[in-house]
């Protein structure tokens, strides 16, 4: 069963992963103990521990204190950058729509809603003056009670301060974009910059991650028809849980101008 040219723990990691995929270890179930696996496979417990470490890093399993090593229960979530915002009228926000399409129970916990000092990089993206405040809607999104992302939305305080709905966790159908549209500043264009990095301590705790599990950081900027940046939303998402999809229409390359000889 175990091939000698490859590291034993890598082979065992692949074996356990294949058992997860074929349903031998169903989603949400406990893996056999390290002692059981070591005995079955004829290797040391240290080797099994290293193999399970690979599965933890890839997000296939997580360790729960007092319980054991549990197979990931959530399916991979597909985030279609274009479709998610087009479908936001189906619920209170795009995150809720994504979870519901997978028959997952969506829940959002707000950490902060209110006036805040704008971080310098966010202020620059929003075109705000130094020291100009913004409205922060900071939240953690869950699917089947498991954390799936942290999302911090910053909106200009000068526009949003009089909107009572934006000061509430449930901003209504269409979410904050629906309320911005009612204020005359509805978003019509979006950009996203995606970075892969390791989580900080706070993100590890909130998203229940190991230190070796990378996250996507997405800077989402929304613009009005007048090309004014109206929102910066910073998403931090476990890399093992999400697939990002971006689509676009082909555009012909701009025609080069023929250089004309100088005329005397």
pLDDT higher than 80, residue 233: yes
Q: What is the mean pLDDT of residues 51-75?
A: 91
Q: What is the mean pLDDT of residues 125-134?
A: 96
Q: What is the mean pLDDT of residues 236-252?
A: 90
Lowest mean pLDDT among 13-27, 80-94, 186-200, 233-247: 80-94
- Residue 263 is predicted with a pLDDT of 42
Instruction: Tell me the pLDDT of the chain averaged across its residues.
Output: 90
> For residue 85, which of 156, 208, 196, 174 has the smallest C-alpha distance?
174
> For residue 160, which of 132, 130, 189 has the smallest C-alpha distance?
132
Tens-place pLDDT, residues 130-188 = 999 999 999 999 999 999 999 999 999 999 999 999 999 999 988 899 999 999 999 99
- What tokens were used for 216? 């996507």
End-to-end CA gap in the chain: 83
Lowest mean pLDDT among 53-62, 77-86, 222-231, 243-252: 77-86
Sheet containing 215-223, strands listed edge to edge, beginning at the edge strand earlier in sequence:
106-116, 134-143, 146-156, 229-238, 215-223, 189-197
Lowest mean pLDDT among 32-46, 56-70, 141-155, 227-241: 56-70
Length of the chain: 264
Tens-place pLDDT, residues 186-204 = 999 999 999 999 999 999 9
pLDDT higher than 70, residue 112: yes
> For residue 71, which of 32, 14, 38 has the smallest C-alpha distance?
32
Name, in order, each residue with C-beta under 8 angstroms of 120's C-beta and a sequence gap of 6 or more. Answer: none
Count the alpha carbons within 13 Å of 199 in the hemisphere toward its beta carbon: 25
Is domain 8-71 in CATH 3.30.420.40, yes or no?
no
At 227, is the secondary structure helix, strand, or coil?
A: coil
What are the domain boundaries of the chain?
8-71, 77-245
- Residue 24 is predicted with a pLDDT of 96
- Domain 77-245: which CATH class? alpha beta
DSSP character at residue 261 = P
Lowest mean pLDDT among 38-42, 52-56, 84-88, 158-162: 84-88
- Equal CATH topology for 8-71 and 77-245: no
- Residue 252 is predicted with a pLDDT of 80
pLDDT higher than 60, residue 262: no
Question: CA-based Rg of the chain, rounded to a whole angstrom?
Answer: 24
Q: Is 58 exposed, middle or buried (0-12, 13-18, 19+ CB in 10 A)?
A: middle
- Residue 264 is predicted with a pLDDT of 42
Count the alpha carbons within 13 Å of 175 in the hemisphere toward its beta carbon: 21
Give dist(CA 38, CA 46) in Å, integer.
Answer: 9
- Residue 255 is predicted with a pLDDT of 72
């Amino acid at each position: 069963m175990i091939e000698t040219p490859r590291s034993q723990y890598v082979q065992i990691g692949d074996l356990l992963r294949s058992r997860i995929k074929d349903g031998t270890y169903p989603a949400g179930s406990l893996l056999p103990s390290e002692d059981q696996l070591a005995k079955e496979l004829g290797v040391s417990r240290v080797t099994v521990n290293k193999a399970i470490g690979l599965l933890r890093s890839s997000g296939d399993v997580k360790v729960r204190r007092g319980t054991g090593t549990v197979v990931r229960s959530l399916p991979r979530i597909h985030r279609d950058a274009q479709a998610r915002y087009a479908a936001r009228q189906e619920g209170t926000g795009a995150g809720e729509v994504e979870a519901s399409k997978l028959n997952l129970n969506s829940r959002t916990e707000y950490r902060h809603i209110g006036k805040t000092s704008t971080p310098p990089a966010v202020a620059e993206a929003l075109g705000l003056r130094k020291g100009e405040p913004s409205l922060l809607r900071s939240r953690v999104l869950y699917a089947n009670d498991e954390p799936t992302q942290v999302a911090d939305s910053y909106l200009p305080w000068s526009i949003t301060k009089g909107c009572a709905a934006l000061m509430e966790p449930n901003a209504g159908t269409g979410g904050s974009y629906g309320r911005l549209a009612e204020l005359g500043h509805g978003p019509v264009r979006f950009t996203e910059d995606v970075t892969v990095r390791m989580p900080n301590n706070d993100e590890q705790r909130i998203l229940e991650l190991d230190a070796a599990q990378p996250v996507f950081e997405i800077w989402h900027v929304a613009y009005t028809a007048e090309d004014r940046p109206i929102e910066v939303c910073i998403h931090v998402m476990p890399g093992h849980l999400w697939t990002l999809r971006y689509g676009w229409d082909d555009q012909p390359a701009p025609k080069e101008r023929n250089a004309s000889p100088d005329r005397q």
